[in-house]
Amino acid sequence: MRLRAAVLHLMRPGEYECRDGLGLAALVRAGEVSAGELVEAAISLIEERDPALNAVVHRMFERARENAAELERVVAGGASEDAVAAPDAPFLGVPFLVKDAGAAVAGEPLTGSCKLFADYVPRRDSELVRRLKSAGLVIVGKTNTPELAAAAVTESRLRGAARNPWDLSRTPGGSSGGSAAAVAAGMVPLAHGGDGGGSLRIPGACCGLFALKPSRGRNPVDSEAGEAWGGLVQEHVLTRSVRDSAVALDVTCAAGGEAGEAPPPRRPFLDEVGAGPGRLRIALFRGSLFGDDVHPDCAAAADDAAGLCAGLGHEVEEWFPAFDMRAARRAFLALVATGVAASAQRGAVLLGRDLTREDLEPGTWTLVTAGRFLGAEGLATAQATVAAVRAAIAKAIAARGVDLLLTSTLAFPPLLVGAPGMGPEQRAAARDIEAGPPAKRLPELLEVLTERATEFVGNTALFNVTGQPAMSVPLYWSAEGLPLGVQFAARHGDEASLLRLAGQLEQARPWFARRPRPG
C-alpha cells in the first residue's frame, strides 16, 4: 500500500486520470514516469473503485507488472529484438483492460460470463490483442459482459451485474459494459470491447464515453472462429478522447482486416482528428430505427447535437433512407441467434459433451434453441436480407448526397440494474421456441422475445446490419445527470469523416473533464 501511495504522489494527485492514453505514454517516453508506475496507479484505482462497479472480473496484476518491467527495459534500450513493443509505441506502458468475450489473451480465462466456458483458457492471443499489445498497452485485467455478449445490459449469473459509475442503480449498458464502467470510473484511459448490435456504442452512451464501431472488415477477425454473428460484430475500444480511439484503430487495422471489405485509409486516422471536416450534409432522424418510441431525453440529445452541428456550419436536414425495418430486424435477430448457438456449441465441443439447458441462462438457451431451429436455411435467408438492406441504404445515401446520419444512440436512458428482461409475452414466446415451432413462426417469435431489448437500443443495430461505421459521442447529459450519447453513422469505409467531426465536436463542447464522482 505504501508503494502505491508513493506512485500516486509521484504522478501528482489526479494526473493519471487527467491524461488520455497518448498523454500517459508521452510521459513514459520522456522518462517522467515509468510503465510500472502507471500500472500501479491503475491497480490502486481498480482496487479502490471496482468493488462498487463489478467492472473488472479477472485481475492480471502480477502479469501486468512483469510486462511493465519489460517495457521499462525497452525504454532503457536493453530489451531483446523480439520485445512485444518498440520504444516509440504510441501507448507505451498504458494500462488497458480487455472484455471477457471475443478477444483471447493467451493463458488467461475467456469465459464470456458463461459457466460453460468458466475453465476455458486460450493458448494464444487473438490477432487484435497481439496488435494492441504491440502498441505498448499493458493488460491489467478482463472486464464484465453479459452471457456470451448477447444482451444490451451487463448482468450474468456467473459474474453478476456491472454498475454505472454515473449512477450505481443503473446499468453501464452492454455488452461491453464492464469496459465502459472502468474507463468512465478512471481505472484505465481506454479498454477493449466488441459491437454486434451496439455493444460499444450503447455502453459508451450510458457512461459518457467516445465509442466508435469500425466498418465491417476494418479490423482483423479471429482466424479460428471467423466473423462473429455473421459479420455483425466489430471489435475496437472505448475511450475518453477521440485521438486515443483513432490511434488504436491505426494500430489494429495496420495490416488490414482479414474480411478484406473496408478500403484502406488514405492516411493515418490520427491525422483526421483536428482536420477540418468541411461543410457536412447531416441527416437527422428523431425516431427509433428498430423500435417504436424514443424517450424525450434521448430525442432532446439528438436535437441538441443537430443544433450544435448547424452552429458549426454543417447542413442538417431531417431525413433517413427508407428500408424494410421488420425484415432488417428479423435478419439481425436471426444472425444473433445462430451466432450465439455456434458459440455455445464450440464450448460443448471443447468440453467433449453435449450442450444442455443447465449450461446456459434461460434467455441464452432460448436464443441457442432458436438458432438451431433456424439452421442453414434461416441463416442464408438472413444473410440475403442483410445484403439487400445494406445495398438499399447505401444507394439512397449516395443519391441524396448525405455525408452522415444522426440519431440518438439510445432510445431510452440507462436502465435500472435488474430491470425485468421478460414480460408475459416474452416468456410465452420463449416457451414456444423451446417447444419447436413451425419454421414460418420462428422469426416472429424471436421478435417478440427480444422486443424490450430493441426498444432500449433501437438505433444501433441497423449499422451492424449494414456494416457502416458509427460512433457515439458524449455531448448530452439529462437533468438527472445521466449521459446520453448521440450517434453518427457514415458510408461504409468512411471512418475518416466521423473522426474529423468527432474532433470538431470535442473542441466545441469538451467532455474529457466531465467525470462521475468516484463511488
Catalytic residues: 99, 175, 199
How far CA 301 is from CA of 35, 153, 294, 305, 396, in Å, comes to 39, 21, 11, 6, 25
- 414 vs 162: CA distance, rounded Å: 13
Locate cell 505498448: which residue? 136
Beta bridge partners of 212: 471
Q: In 445-492, at which residue ranges do the beta strands (DSSP E only) sit?
A: 470-473, 486-490
- 61 vs 519: CA distance, rounded Å: 22
**Phi, psi (rounded to 5 degrees) for 471:** -135, 150
- Nine-digit cell at 252? 489494429
- Nine-digit cell at 320? 433517413
SS3 443: helix
- 64 vs 54: CA distance, rounded Å: 20
Q: What is the DSSP string of 303-339?
A: HHHHHHHHHTT-EEEE------HHHHHHHHHHHHHHH
| CA atoms in the 13 A half-sphere facing the CB of 351 | 17
Q: Are 311 and 433 in contact (CB under 8 A)?
A: no
Q: Are 363 and 350 in contact (CB under 8 A)?
A: no
Going across the sheet that includes 95-99, the strands are 56-59, 138-143, 95-99, 190-195, 234-239, 210-213, 470-473, 486-490, 404-408, 281-284, 315-318
- 35 vs 152: CA distance, rounded Å: 34
Q: Are 200 and 193 in contact (CB under 8 A)?
A: yes
Alpha helix segments (H runs only) across 116-199: 127-134, 177-184
10 Å CB burial of residue 31 (0-12, 13-18, 19+) is: exposed
**Phi, psi (rounded to 5 degrees) for 448:** -60, -45
